[in-house]
Amino acid sequence: MTAMLPTTEFALLRRVATEQATGRAPSLVAAVVRDGETLFSAGRGEVGGARPDTRTLYRIGSITKSLVAVVVMRLRDEGRLDLTDPLDKHVPGTAFGGTSVAQLLSHTSGLTSESPGEWWERAPGGDWDELNATLGAGEVKHRPGRRFHYSNVGYGVLGELVARLRGTSWLDAVRTEVLDPLGMRETTEAPARAHAPGLTVHPFADVVLPEPAHDAGAMAPAGQLWSCADDLARFTAFVGGDTGEVLHPDTVAEMREAAMIDDSGPWSMGYGLGFQLAHTGGRRLAGHTGSMPGFLACTMIDPATSTGAIALANATGGVGILSLVADLIALADDHEPALPEWRPAPIDTGLLELTGLWHWGPSPHHLRVLPDGLLDLRPVSGTGRASRFRPLGGDRWLGLDGYYSGETLTVVRDAEGRPHHLDLATFVFTRVPYDPTAPIPGGVDPSGWRG
């Protein structure tokens, strides 16, 4: 583990210690990671008479959902499903078969938040047929796509979808396709060794009560798994873009895009395709929180700085787990920001003829080649429509961000093969403002510019 400055480590430790004490957590473990490496970790309280550490096992609750979502996105990338597919195409026989895969991933399906019957987090779960039998038309609480409505049931459904398309259990698919390739050997459906017990703390006295930990059955994809901070450090880096061979970084970036915001109050939280999003302190974080009776968990990362944090506690409530993680990220980046360093990058030098100044009407833009071979087009003023572009072959490029996301940029050449103008979703960019030799819609006044 790379050491941080003593002053930084003390500030981080103080934040962890304060949260454990004020939240009255029987135990709490936290860690800060950057670029896939753990920079800091601390444990407070006790597990089995000793300080917990980054190998101590806790139940991680809804972080399980993100792991299931990764398998769903792998299926999409393999062409086994489309995110716009109705559920009926893959899991027929439900009362909500018109709901799309993307809506289930993003909690916009309108499905009920909890499975009917007993409180599923404290009761043994049944199989898919038993769960599906309880999900009648009345369990669709909102029109699909209308709003964000967190649905644990939706991820039980996605677990069944994974099982049917993979021909195995959702858990085996997650283990084989995500956990093993990322080296997350300690992340399991039940703890395989000594672990933190699930506890709840009395609201008016410093005493604890053990919480039950049942197998959730068909609802398990919503919150079954156990893990430790070491394993979650690897997954935190994955969410930030260090994806290994599990998913392409572009797919993980797609998962981090806000599919819906929580409009129940001032907007600071959103949800992508299996990832929670948080806007806090000027930072955009991605990851997931988790809770099960007796446990709280959170992993978040700022992809812009590659700094992330993890926190795990064995308490049913009281700990501000997301606030703690967000504060640890902010403290690490404020006290010890990653130091920038520039180096020449190998690129296709044939792209250099595209770079430089281009104008959309009178508005000047700069076109640059990025180290990863993408193009970056943005206003000289720094405000307005900007986007990166990925090559599609030939002189065509696909927009990746903002207004131009999904749109095509085409380089149009003159008779000598030199770049003459750019056509971006019908907008014409020219080397000089309103170049009269370019096919600008409406033409250019033949009298030219005048005073």
Give residue-wise pLDDT tens across range 75-103: 999 999 999 999 999 999 999 999 999 99
Can you give the CATH number for the domain in which 285 is found?
3.40.710.10
Residue 310 lies in a domain: yes
Look up the domain containing 244 and give its range. 24-335
In this structure, the answer to whether residues 293 and 361 fall within a common structural domain is no
Question: What domain count does the chain have?
Answer: 2
Residue 283 lies in a domain: yes
Six token digits for residue 408: 């095509």
How does strand 427-430 pair with strand 356-360? antiparallel
Predicted local distance difference test score (pLDDT) of residue 48? 94
Predicted local distance difference test score (pLDDT) of residue 265? 65
Predicted local distance difference test score (pLDDT) of residue 261? 80
Tell which of 335, 359, 382 closes a domain: 335
% of the chain with per-residue pLDDT over 90: 90
In this structure, the answer to whether residues 326 and 394 fall within a common structural domain is no
Predicted local distance difference test score (pLDDT) of residue 308? 98
Can you give the CATH number for the domain in which 395 is found?
2.40.128.50
Residue 438 lies in a domain: no
Q: Does residue 263 have a pLDDT over 70?
A: no
In this structure, the answer to whether residues 267 and 169 fall within a common structural domain is yes
Residue 366 lies in a domain: yes
Predicted local distance difference test score (pLDDT) of residue 243? 96
The pLDDT tens digits of the residues spanning 175-184 come to 999 999 999 9
In this structure, the answer to whether residues 50 and 105 fall within a common structural domain is yes
In this structure, the answer to whether residues 245 and 175 fall within a common structural domain is yes
- pLDDT confidence of 1, banded at 50, 70, 90? low
Predicted local distance difference test score (pLDDT) of residue 123? 87
Q: Does residue 419 have a pLDDT over 90?
A: yes
In this structure, the answer to whether residues 294 and 408 fall within a common structural domain is no
The pLDDT tens digits of the residues spanning 227-251 come to 999 999 999 999 999 999 999 999 9
Mean pLDDT of 250-277: 88
In this structure, the answer to whether residues 301 and 361 fall within a common structural domain is no
Residue 18 lies in a domain: no
Q: Does residue 258 have a pLDDT over 70?
A: yes
Query: Interhelix angle for 6-22 vs 321-335, to 10°?
Result: 170
In this structure, the answer to whether residues 385 and 253 fall within a common structural domain is no
Cα 276 → chain centroid: 6
In this structure, the answer to whether residues 407 and 297 fall within a common structural domain is no
Residue 13 lies in a domain: no
- Of 385, 391, 389, the C-alpha closest to 403 is 385
Question: What strand order describes the sheet that includes 260-261?
Answer: 37-45, 27-34, 307-313, 295-302, 283-292, 276-280, 269-271, 260-261
Residue 341 lies in a domain: no
How does strand 356-360 pair with strand 307-313? unpaired
The pLDDT tens digits of the residues spanning 179-204 come to 999 999 999 999 989 999 999 999 99
Q: What's the Rg (C-alpha) of the chain?
A: 25
In this structure, the answer to whether residues 76 and 167 fall within a common structural domain is yes
Residue 19 lies in a domain: no
Tell which of 335, 368, 395 closes a domain: 335
Tell which of 303, 335, 367 closes a domain: 335
In this structure, the answer to whether residues 71 and 160 fall within a common structural domain is yes
In this structure, the answer to whether residues 152 and 278 fall within a common structural domain is yes
Q: Does residue 289 have a pLDDT over 90?
A: yes
Claim: this prediction has a pTM higher than 0.85:
yes
Higher pLDDT, 450 or 265: 450
Q: Does residue 447 have a pLDDT over 70?
A: yes
